[in-house]
């Protein structure tokens, strides 16, 4: 049987380890990191598929200068444990994240989501009354085109139900240098050694890789697409022109589906821009955060 990641073992290398806590909500044990003064506006961070809180290691301290920043490992990712497989759909994941938010006693002033995390933030707006600003970093909002829209979730489901597949992926990740090559090929991003070590630990763990597959298998972007016109939240989409995972053209198309959105293009970075160049990303999102903080609530 595959084992969960161990905080006393793999967790030793996790960035900002001193800010981590484990929060139990029902049968779920969430890995949460918090940074910044408690009396500052709350900023909720939602990572993408296959990542964890480590992906915010560079951006989180910059955001914590003006916000109380809260990040968590999403269901069946990283060091968060206890979610059943059915919690991996987009609506169910939004619900379980909102339960954590309630348990923490916080009210997010802004949500930042990377990749699939941006879709999760919009689902929270649609289903749970979140009406604040959303910042999407290299947002994964556009359904796969044509036949791929039907094939991709089906293939992911087949991979998910085969218990050997996550182990095969994890075994491949243990090959020297394979994680580095995989990350670059999939994202067109060069990240630091600290981040790469975390991705390697995640990819070598079959429970984590199975969680990522389950998220892909249950991510219903076509349904979200039909509802995006109802979203009135102010949205800033920051997208990289060299993103190998989510082409810029896809981001431009998705931007047009939102009634109150602005698209800002970053040059020379890949899908993990917030890990490659957190200071540059902060420069792009800071005016939006300041502007929304100074905008009176309706």
The pLDDT of 257-275, averaged and rounded, is 97
In a domain, 186, yes or no: yes
In a domain, 89, yes or no: yes
Give the pLDDT confidence of 164-182 residue by residue, as tens digits: 444 545 555 554 457 788 8
pLDDT at residue 227 in the model:
95
Helix (H) or strand (E) holding 162: none
pLDDT at residue 152 in the model:
54
Give the pLDDT confidence of 47-95 residue by residue, as tens digits: 999 899 999 999 999 999 999 999 999 999 999 999 998 899 999 999 9
Q: Does residue 215 surpass a pLDDT of 90?
A: no
The pLDDT of 252-256, averaged and rounded, is 95
pLDDT at residue 171 in the model:
58
In a domain, 3, yes or no: no
In a domain, 5, yes or no: no
DSSP H helix total and E strand total for the chain: 12, 8
In a domain, 2, yes or no: no
Collapsing DSSP to helix, strand or coil, 160 comes out as helix
Overall number of domains in the chain: 1
pLDDT at residue 63 in the model:
98
Give the pLDDT confidence of 186-211 residue by residue, as tens digits: 899 999 999 999 999 998 898 998 88
In a domain, 63, yes or no: yes
Listed as own residue / partner, the contacts of 12-18 with beta carbons closer than 8 Å and 24 or more positions apart are 13/194, 13/197, 13/198, 13/201, 14/53, 14/54, 14/198, 15/54, 15/57, 15/194, 15/195, 15/198, 16/53, 16/57, 16/60, 16/61
Mean pLDDT computed over every residue of the chain = 89
Q: Does residue 131 surpass a pLDDT of 50?
A: yes
In a domain, 225, yes or no: yes
* The pair of three-digit structure tokens given for residue 204, joined into one six-digit string: 């070598």
Q: Does residue 16 surpass a pLDDT of 80?
A: yes
Angle at 27 between CA 24 and CA 33, to 5 degrees: 30
| 206 vs 230, more confident | 230
CA distances from 223 to 89, 119, 138, 226, 231 (A): 12, 11, 20, 5, 14
Helix (H) or strand (E) holding 245: none
pLDDT at residue 59 in the model:
98
Find the domain containing 106 and state its range.
Answer: 10-291
Give the pLDDT confidence of 43-57 residue by residue, as tens digits: 999 999 989 999 999
Return the percentage of the chain with pLDDT > 70, whole number: 87
| Whole-angstrom distance, CA of residue 31 vs CA of residue 291 | 31
**CATH code for position 120:** 3.40.50.1820
Q: At 256, give phi and psi (nearest 5°).
A: -70, -15
| Whole-angstrom distance, CA of residue 169 vs CA of residue 209 | 7
In a domain, 129, yes or no: yes
């Amino acid at each position: 049987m595959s084992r969960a990641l161990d905080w006393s073992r793999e967790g030793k290398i996790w960035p900002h380890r001193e800010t981590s806590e484990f929060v139990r909500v029902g049968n779920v044990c969430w890995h949460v990191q918090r940074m910044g003064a408690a009396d500052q506006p709350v900023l909720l961070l939602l990572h993408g598929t296959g990542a964890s809180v480590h992906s915010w290691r560079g951006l989180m301290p910059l955001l914590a200068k003006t916000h109380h920043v809260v990040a968590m490992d999403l269901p069946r990712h990283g060091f968060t444990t206890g979610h059943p497989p059915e919690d991996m759909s987009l609506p169910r994941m939004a619900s379980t994240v909102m339960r954590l938010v309630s348990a923490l006693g916080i009210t997010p002033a802004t949500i930042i989501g990377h990749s699939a995390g941006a879709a999760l933030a919009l689902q929270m707006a649609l289903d749970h009354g979140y009406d604040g600003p959303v910042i999407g970093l290299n947002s994964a909002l556009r359904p796969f085109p044509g036949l791929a829209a039907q094939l991709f979730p089906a293939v992911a489901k087949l991979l998910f139900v085969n218990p050997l597949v996550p182990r095969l992926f994890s075994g491949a990740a243990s090959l020297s240098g394979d994680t580095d090559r995989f990350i670059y090929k999939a994202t067109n991003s060069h990240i630091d050694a600290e981040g790469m070590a975390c991705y390697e630990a995640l990819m070598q763990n079959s429970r984590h890789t199975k969680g990522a597959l389950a998220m892909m298998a249950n991510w219903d972007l076509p349904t979200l697409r039909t509802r995006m016109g109802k979203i009135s939240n102010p949205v800033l989409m920051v997208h990289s022109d060299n993103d190998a995972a989510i082409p810029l053209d896809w981001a431009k198309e998705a931007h047009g589906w939102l009634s109150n959105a602005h698209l800002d293009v970053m040059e020379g970075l890949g899908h993990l821009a917030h890990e490659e160049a957190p200071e540059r990303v902060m420069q792009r999102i800071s005016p939006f955060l300041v502007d929304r903080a100074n905008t009176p609530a309706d």
